[in-house]
């Protein structure tokens, strides 16, 4: 259970939400995590967290299957890209992953 008013797939851009909705391991961080509580607050990019490097690889593969990906920068634990015109970053955040609830961290967890 979370104290957020909205789920991440309700606040991230619809096409992107549909592309990642079935994947079990991601969660939002940054501006879109805040939008789960304050959906009127704009955020230009989408930042995802995942628990492990393998999850990052899988999420990147899913994004490539579902849209046009322009890779900007990639390392073992971070990727920055543009997916169908949307700026997206994915970070391996093993320690933070334990605090996620319904794909976002609640106020109590943070």
pLDDT value for 74 = 95
* Residue 84 placed within a domain: yes
Which pTM was predicted? 0.84
Nearest to 58 by CA among 22, 15, 7: 22
* Residue 90 placed within a domain: yes
53-104 residue pLDDT tens: 999 999 999 999 999 999 999 999 999 999 999 999 999 987 665 555 545 5
* Residue 3 placed within a domain: no
Q: Is the pLDDT of residue 4 over 70?
A: no
Query: What is the rounded (10 degree) CA torsion for 22, 63, 26, 47?
Result: -140
Strand runs labelled E in 5-96 = 27-29, 46-50, 69-74, 78-83, 86-92
Measure the CA angle with vertex 85, ends 43 and 96; round to 5°. Answer: 50
25-44 residue pLDDT tens: 898 888 888 888 888 778 88
List the CATH number of the domain containing 87.
Answer: 3.30.460.10
End-to-end CA distance of the chain: give it in Å, rounded.
14
pLDDT value for 108 = 46
Give the burial class of 108: count Cβ atoms within 10 A of its Cβ; 0-12 exposed, 13-18 middle, 19 or more buried: exposed
Q: Which domain holds residue 41?
A: 8-105
* Number of domains comprising the chain: 1
* Residue 68 placed within a domain: yes
């Amino acid at each position: 259970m979370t104290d957020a008013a909205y789920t991440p797939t309700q606040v991230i851009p619809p096409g992107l939400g549909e592309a990642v909705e079935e994947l079990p391991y991601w969660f939002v961080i940054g501006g879109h995590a805040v939008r789960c509580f304050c959906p009127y607050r704009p955020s230009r990019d989408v930042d995802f967290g995942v628990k492990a490097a393998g999850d990052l690889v899988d999420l990147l593969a899913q994004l490539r299957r579902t849209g046009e990906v322009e890779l900007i920068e990639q390392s073992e634990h971070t990727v920055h890209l543009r997916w169908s015109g949307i700026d997206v970053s994915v970070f391996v955040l093993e320690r933070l992953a334990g605090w996620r609830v319904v794909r976002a961290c609640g106020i109590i967890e943070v």
